């Protein structure tokens, strides 16, 4: 099925089965649940598995607004992708996409208070867990992310 979001239309497309497909071909080799990491040769980030008290490392957008208005020294990190950053971002933030996050860690100081946000809060919490695993302790993830920020704090900000 193809969805055209500009025209708001759907279209069914018929495709032929690939006879060499490992899953549904004439001679399938995948016949049961598989190890994703081994099959795709893409390691899953281990920091997502770290068990921390997420509530203790979370803040709402009103808290973030108060901190930014106060002029307190913090490092605000946006972990979304560059195309999302281009749509909207919070002034003063640094773009450090979560997909390339490991390369940005050396730019961060473990002594700084680091506040992370993404679109809804999931990716920023994953980045926070990675930093926590690296020994960072002064961390907060913004619950609801920039979407909540645009809904409550800066209603003129574009939402996507």
> Encoding tokens for residue 122?
């999931």
11 within domain boundaries: no
> Above 60 in pLDDT, residue 70?
yes
Structural domain harbouring 107? 46-152
Give the ranges where the chain is alpha helix by DSSP (H): 36-40, 61-70, 82-87, 101-104, 122-133, 145-152
90 within domain boundaries: yes
pLDDT for the residue numbered 45: 53
36 within domain boundaries: no
pLDDT for the residue numbered 152: 97
Cα–Cα distance, 9 to 38 (Å, whole number): 38
pLDDT for the residue numbered 68: 97
Q: The pTM is what?
A: 0.70
Cα–Cα distance, 147 to 160 (Å, whole number): 8
Question: Count of domains in the chain?
Answer: 1
Question: The CATH number of the domain where 59 resides is what?
Answer: 3.40.250.10
Please report where in the chains the tokens 């901190």 appear, as a residue.
67
């Amino acid at each position: 099925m193809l969805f055209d979001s500009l025209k708001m239309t759907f279209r069914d497309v018929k495709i032929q089965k690939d006879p060499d497909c490992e899953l549904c071909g004439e001679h399938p080799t995948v016949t049961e649940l598989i190890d994703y990491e081994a099959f795709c040769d893409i390691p899953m980030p281990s920091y997502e598995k770290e068990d921390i008290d997420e509530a203790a490392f979370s803040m709402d957008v009103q808290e973030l607004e108060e901190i930014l208005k106060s002029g307190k020294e913090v490092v605000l990190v946006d972990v979304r992708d560059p195309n999302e950053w281009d749509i909207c971002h919070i002034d003063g933030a640094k773009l450090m996409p979560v997909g390339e996050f490991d390369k940005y860690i050396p730019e961060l100081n473990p002594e700084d208070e680091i506040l992370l946000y993404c679109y809804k809060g999931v990716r920023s919490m994953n980045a926070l867990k990675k930093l926590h695993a690296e020994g960072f302790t002064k961390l907060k993830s913004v619950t609801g992310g920039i979407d909540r920020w645009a809904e409550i704090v800066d209603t003129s900000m574009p939402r996507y």
